[in-house]
């Protein structure tokens, strides 16, 4: 039992993301719940997380690769596109679900105090679970195309994953907190997610932007953390399978570190805004 030397705590004021780490067992249970609940009552269950990206990918590949013949300029276009598409899928799922996570868990937020950062973080985690099977498919496709990566390229891929996960967590905290007060946030995020596939070199390559846009636009374009992650994935999974000479963006690892820095900034901003607004969640959600 508590004795008089104990320090008094201020209820409802936590340590933010640090608390999420401390209560990782609860995080694990929430992630498991989300995965279980997502596919409740469906026969295919988790298989839907393969089927949906597969259909989306086939449509894109047919339209762009075969009808519009973008693939003529990019060797091994199928693999190029797939390695970018799965990064964007991970980002959009993580970000849009994190944005809705507080509102979705309103029943809990209103009744019991727990670190609310758990919900956006769990959303990103769930997206990562869905990302995994897609990565396995990518690896299989890459191996089939004679993939022999070096260590740096694998490090690059891991860095790309971390950049996307951190960016999605940061932006998810920000948008998730705002969404409690203005449900417009989730629509704005949905709109951004329609654009995000096109603001990164997923379906085309970066040299096409260089041809069209001035240098400073290209710089901004390349500083987008999602673009950084997509290029790192191209470097890791597509580049080693290409035999024709292709031009990669310069200083990939350096841009990667810059992207990580950007992601960290998003995370800090997200956490600060989240903490600022958190005190009003229970009464406003």
Partner 1 sequence: MGAAVIVKGLKKTFNLRHSHSLKETLVWLVKGRKGDLTKKFDALHDVSFEIQDGETVALLGFNGSGKSTLLKLISGVILPDQGTVRTKGRVAGLIEVGAGFHPDLSGRENVFLNAAILGMTEQEINEKFDEIVAFSEIEQFIDTEVKFYSSGMFLRLAFAVAVHTQPDIFLVDEILAVGDEPFQRKCLAKIKQLSDEGRTLVVVSHDLDMISRICDRGVVLSSGTVQFEGPADQAVAWLRERN
Q: Which of residues 29-58 bind partner 1 (CB under 8 A)?
A: 29-30, 32-33, 36-37, 40
Residue 97: both structure tokens together = 């679900």
CB of 47 to partner 1, least distance (A): 18
Does residue 1 belong to the site contacting partner 1 (CB under 8 A)? yes
Q: Which is nearer to partner 1, 13 or 143 (CB)?
A: 13
**Contact 79/67 with Cβ under 8 angstroms?**
no
| Distance of alpha carbon 162 from alpha carbon 141, whole angstroms | 22
Distances (CA, A) of 182 to 25, 126, 128, 175, 267: 31, 25, 27, 10, 21
Q: Which region, judged by CB under 8 A, interacts with partner 1, from 105-113, 192-200, 226-234, 251-259?
A: 105-113
Give the 3-state secondary structure of residue 185.
helix
Q: Which of 43, 67, 72, 111 binds partner 1 (CB under 8 A)?
A: 111
Q: Is 114 in the site for partner 1 (CB under 8 A)?
A: yes
The verdict on 67 binding partner 1 (CB under 8 A) reads no
In the list 110, 136, 154, 208, the residue contacting partner 1 (rule: CB under 8 A) is: 110
For tokens 């693999």, the residue is 79
Number of residues counted as binding partner 1 (CB under 8 A): 39
**Smallest distance from partner 1 to CB 19, Å:** 11
Whole-angstrom distance, CA of residue 285 vs CA of residue 283:
6
Nearer to partner 1, 82 or 125 (CB): 125
26 binds partner 1 (CB under 8 A): yes
Question: Considering beta carbons, is residue 34 or 231 the nearer one to partner 1?
Answer: 34
| DSSP class per residue in 111-145 | HS---TTHHHHHHHHHHHHHHHHHHHHHHHHHHHT
**Which span (75-83, 103-111, 192-200, 267-275) binds partner 1, by CB under 8 A?**
103-111
What's the closest the beta carbon of residue 21 comes to partner 1, in angstroms?
14
Cβ–Cβ < 8 Å for 156, 255: no
CB of 37 to partner 1, least distance (A): 5
**What is the CA angle 223-228-230, rounded to 5?**
140
* Through-space distance between the first and last CA atoms of the chain, rounded to whole angstroms: 35
| Interaction between residue 244 and partner 1 (CB under 8 A) | no
* Gyration radius (Cα) of the chain, Å: 21
What is the CB neighbour count within 10 angstroms for residue 275? 18
Report, in Å, the least distance between residue 8 CB and partner 1.
Answer: 4
Report the site for partner 1 in 153-192 (rule: CB under 8 A). Answer: 181-184
Residues interacting with partner 1, by CB under 8 A? 1-4, 6-13, 23, 25-26, 29-30, 32-33, 36-37, 40, 107-114, 181-184, 279-280, 282-284
């Amino acid at each position: 039992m508590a004795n008089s030397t104990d320090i008094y705590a201020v209820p409802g004021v936590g340590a933010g993301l640090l608390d999420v780490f401390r209560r990782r067992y609860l995080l694990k249970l929430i992630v498991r719940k989300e995965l279980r609940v997502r596919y409740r009552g469906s026969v295919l269950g988790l298989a839907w997380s393969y089927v949906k990206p597969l259909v989306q990918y086939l449509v894109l590949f047919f339209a762009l690769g075969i009808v519009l013949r973008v693939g003529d300029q990019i060797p091994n276009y199928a693999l190029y596109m797939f390695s970018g598409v799965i990064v964007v899928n991970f980002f959009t799922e993580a970000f849009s679900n994190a944005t809705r996570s507080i509102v979705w868990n309103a029943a809990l937020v209103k009744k019991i105090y727990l670190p609310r950062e758990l919900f956006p973080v769990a959303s990103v985690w769930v997206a990562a679970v869905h990302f995994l099977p897609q990565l396995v498919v990518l690896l299989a496709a890459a191996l089939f195309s004679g993939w022999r990566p070096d260590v740096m390229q694998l490090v690059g891929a891991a860095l790309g994953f971390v950049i996307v996960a951190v960016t999605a967590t940061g932006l998810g905290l920000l948008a998730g907190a705002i969404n409690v007060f203005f449900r417009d946030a989730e629509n704005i995020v949905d709109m951004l997610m329609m654009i995000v596939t096109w603001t990164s070199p997923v379906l085309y390559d970066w040299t096409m932007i260089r041809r069209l846009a001035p240098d400073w636009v290209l710089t901004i374009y390349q500083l987008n953390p999602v673009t950084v992650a997509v290029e790192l994935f191209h470097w890791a999974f597509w580049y080693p399978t290409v035999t024709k000479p292709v031009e990669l963006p310069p200083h990939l690892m350096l841009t990667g570190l810059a992207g990580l820095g950007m992601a960290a900034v998003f995370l800090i901003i997200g956490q600060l805004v989240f903490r600022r607004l958190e005190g009003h969640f229970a009464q406003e959600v």
